[in-house]
Structure 1
Amino acid sequence: MNKIFGWSLMVAVAMLGVSCGNSTSNATGENAATDSTLVDPAQTAKASTGKVEFESPVFDFGTVKEGEILEHIYAFENTGEAPVILSQVSASCGCTTPSYTQTPILPGKKGEIKVSFDSNGQVGKQQKIVTVVSNATNGVTTVQLKGEVLAK
């Protein structure tokens, strides 16, 4: 009885080994890895990502008096093929506060980043950088706020 069970087990394992060797063949008997209809995952990832494009990434506020609070909205469009999600928007200085579109921006749609700059204590030429982190192909981008603050 044990010999029959042992032989049956060996035959089953042998058949499994033979059938596993054929699992990558397609209908023509060629290896599936050489099939030209397969898509490269790297190309698919690139083709299915969003892209952030700002209408105007630099805003020059000109000359203002110290103490003024300036606000500017940076509009952008998702020119890619998948939704863009902004994960972090941060300013280079505590005097600059950004807020941004929190929902996914679908392909062809627009989003915005609103920046508020408090010029108190910021006398002289100013250049503030706001860094935008997203899942887009250009995952880290920046916008700038610049100008000059005159003393009170």
Structure 2
Amino acid sequence: MKLKQLGIGLAAVVFFAACNNQPKTDEASKVDPAEVVTPTENTEPLSGKGKIEFEEDAFDFGTIKEGEVVNHVFKFKNTGEEPVILSAVSASCGCTTPDYTKDPILPGKEGEIKVSFNSQGQVGTQQKIVTVSSNAMNKVTTVQIKGAVVEK
């Protein structure tokens, strides 16, 4: 019995001692503040002068049977003065999957968001919202896909 208690006590000491170990620092990896490069006028961040304008902000797929998959492409144009970068595109439901232009969209150019809706288990009236976050003036915009799903 004493041997068991001694083993548990020793394990506890080793566990707590290991928690206090600090990572070793390599002197060669330390950064000299004099070597830090600060941004210049050519590396300033974009000021949000890009603008996203969708051709349409909603798509009605009508009536489909449960289990069918609906795909739609929402096209947009950058009508602003600077490139637009989409930082996140997310759907309101796991049944809706967005895919989007990852490269910066230059002024006057177009990008797209492909939305796929899987109607399996989604019987009834549907309205799925896709939220688009970017560095544009309109930082957060939405598009939606809607319609009705009937049982098989």
Taking structure 1 as the reference length, the TM-score comes to 0.69
Whole-angstrom CA distance in 1 between matches of 2:145 and 2:97: 11
State the 1:126 CA deviation: 0.1
Output aligned runs, 1:60-139, within 5 Å.
60-139=60-139
Aligned residue identity for 2:143: V
Output aligned runs, 1:8-23, within 5 Å.
none
Partner of 1:12: none
Whole-angstrom CA distance in 2 between matches of 1:99 and 1:57: 16
Aligned residue identity for 2:141: T
State the 1:140 CA deviation: 0.1
State the 1:112 CA deviation: 0.1
Provide, for residues 95-151 of structure 1, a one-character-per-residue CA deviation record: whole Å limited to 9, x for no partner: 000000000000000000000000000000000000000000000000000000001
Whole-angstrom CA distance in 2 between matches of 1:130 and 1:119: 16
Aligned residue identity for 2:60: D
State the 1:84 CA deviation: 0.1
State the 1:70 CA deviation: 0.6
Aligned residue identity for 1:77: K
Partner of 1:4: none
Partner of 2:56: 56
**Over aligned residue pairs, what C-alpha RMSD do you find?**
1.2
Whole-angstrom CA distance in 2 between matches of 1:69 and 1:59: 14
Paired residues, what number? 107
Runs of 4 or more, structure 1, over 2 Å off, are none
Whole-angstrom CA distance in 2 between matches of 1:45 and 1:52: 14
| Percent of pairs with identical residues | 70
Aligned residue identity for 1:87: S
State the 1:45 CA deviation: 4.1
